Amino acid sequence: MIVVAGSYNQDLVWRTPRFPKAGETRTGHFSQGPGGKGFNQAMAAHRLGGNTLFIAAIGEDALGGLAMQLAEREALPCAWQKCAGAATGNAAIWLDDDGQNQILVDLAANTRLSPTHISAHAEDIRHARILLLQQEAALGASLAALHLAKKAGVRSIVNPAPASGDSAELHALADILSPNESEFAALLQAQGEDVSAESIAQRDAGALHALARKLPCPDTVITLGARGAVLSTPSGFHEFAPPNVSVRDTTGAGDCFNGALAAELAHGSALIDACAFAVLAASCKVERAGAALAMPTRADIAARFG
Which residues are annotated as catalytic? 255
Helices (H) and strands (E) in the chain, counts: 12, 13
> Sheet of 219-223: strands edge to edge?
78-83, 52-59, 2-5, 130-133, 155-158, 176-177, 219-223, 229-233, 236-240
Strand partners, 79: 55
CA-based max dimension of the chain = 54
Determine the Cα–Cα distance for residues 79 and 86; give it in Å rounded to an integer: 17
User: Quick one: DSSP state of residue 288?
Assistant: S
- Using DSSP's 3-state secondary structure scheme, residue 131 falls into strand
Alpha carbon 231 to chain centroid distance?
17
Position 47: which residue type? R
Determine the Cα–Cα distance for residues 35 and 13; give it in Å rounded to an integer: 11
Helix axis angle for 271-285 and 298-305, nearest 10°, is 80
Give burial (CB, 10 Å; 0-12/13-18/19+) of 228. buried
- Among 214, 296, 189, which Cα is nearest to 248's? 296
The bridge status of strand 101-106 relative to strand 89-95 is: antiparallel
- Please measure the distance between the N-terminal and C-terminal CA atoms of the chain and give it in whole angstroms: 27
Output the CA torsion 281→283→287→293 (10° steps).
Answer: 30
